[in-house]
Structure 1
């Protein structure tokens, strides 16, 4: 039997890119297994089913090493599991397979790189979240964090223009122009200000 295993980190992501690469092999796969879960752990539903189903002589194709795992130890353990069952795993992107023993060295190096990439991604996300909390906005200008902080960060002229707008001395369109924001942002600010 010839299997393919695909994995993406979240349910919102698509395996389309992996499908495209594996389709180029022109192999008639007997069965496909897909996980939509982080690769940091080894306990994944589709991978667990695949481990139970494979038999001696079967072949598994993965688009890349990082799809099978992003932790070097888990990656080695998974490959050893398949190898002990006489199942060969092919990693298309890296051009290696688990037939023989030479793959272990390459697997360790490339697995370490995948693990480092994952750690860097997590670190960048944490830094981005910290920045958003600190500034109260995301990179695109959307509000982030507690509303109290957001209300404190409204432009200094907001209250003055708000009073004029309430007294019908100023329209919302004019107020938005004076503050240099779009109407949607202004309406959001007004809503937050009035909540306070």
Structure 2
């Protein structure tokens, strides 16, 4: 059975290929043939990801879409998660998550027992996808709260580098606060700045 490995990290400071070896070992253990490896550094809150879309276009019905964990595949809104699941189902793919044992049974058909486990697996997938999305939202809220607390304690405080472009900084921070699930690429486009600038501001807010 063919498998397609999907590897994702959220920023250029992380390595999307970090889990490659473990997924290759998992595929070998399960007797899966690796037909493709798709790796990208992009936010999990974004549905339209180049490598993910390329995977969906190249895979055939009955193939396995293999990921390390649910949050590597999705930190999507509920609507986008449903859309992604629909696209995977429409392609006839088997979604297998390495750290979700109930999904492993999709590699083999197991009659009525397999059908029952699939129902349970789908419920767990939805739960874990929701938890991944909420974790992302909480992270953004913590950054926002940390900035507000810092300003309240010291009204004169400014994050490192802010003096270079105060208006741009404020615009990016406002966009992230208003749209917590928006990807860095989308924020950069709306703020008319580079993605690296958005990542830098995120890092400085987190450090604050």
Distance (Å, rounded) in 2 between the aligned partners of 1:62 and 1:127: 33
Distance (Å, rounded) in 2 between the aligned partners of 1:133 and 1:94: 42
Whether 1:8 aligns to 2:9 is: yes
CA deviation string 1:80-112 (max 9, x = no partner): 322222211101112233945413211221111
Higher relative contact order (CA 8 A, sep 6+): 2
Whether 1:76 aligns to 2:82 is: yes
- Over 3 Å counting, the alpha-carbon distance change for 1:130 and 1:18 in structure 2 is farther
Instruction: Give the TM-score normalised by the residue count of structure 1.
Output: 0.63
Distance (Å, rounded) in 1 between the aligned partners of 2:25 and 2:148: 42
Aligned length: 143
Distance (Å, rounded) in 2 between the aligned partners of 1:137 and 1:23: 46
Distance (Å, rounded) in 1 between the aligned partners of 2:67 and 2:147: 32
1:30-179 to structure 2, matched below 5 A, reads 30-71=35-76, 72-97=78-103, 99=106, 100=115, 101-102=118-119, 103-133=121-151, 135=154, 136=157, 143=160, 145-146=162-163
Runs (5+) with no aligned partner, structure 2: 107-114, 165-208
The two structures, once aligned, show a CA RMSD in angstroms of 2.5
Instruction: Give the TM-score normalised by the residue count of structure 2.
Output: 0.60
Distance (Å, rounded) in 1 between the aligned partners of 2:97 and 2:27: 15
Q: Which moved more, 1:88-97 or 1:22-31?
A: 22-31
Distance (Å, rounded) in 1 between the aligned partners of 2:19 and 2:151: 35
**Matched-pair contact (CA < 8 Å) for 1:60–1:89:** yes
Distance (Å, rounded) in 2 between the aligned partners of 1:20 and 1:117: 26
Deviation at 1:16, TM superposition (A): 4.3
Q: In proportion to residue count, which structure has more helix?
A: 2
- Over 3 Å counting, the alpha-carbon distance change for 1:65 and 1:73 in structure 2 is farther
Runs (5+) with no aligned partner, structure 1: 148-196
Local SS of the residue matching 1:31: strand
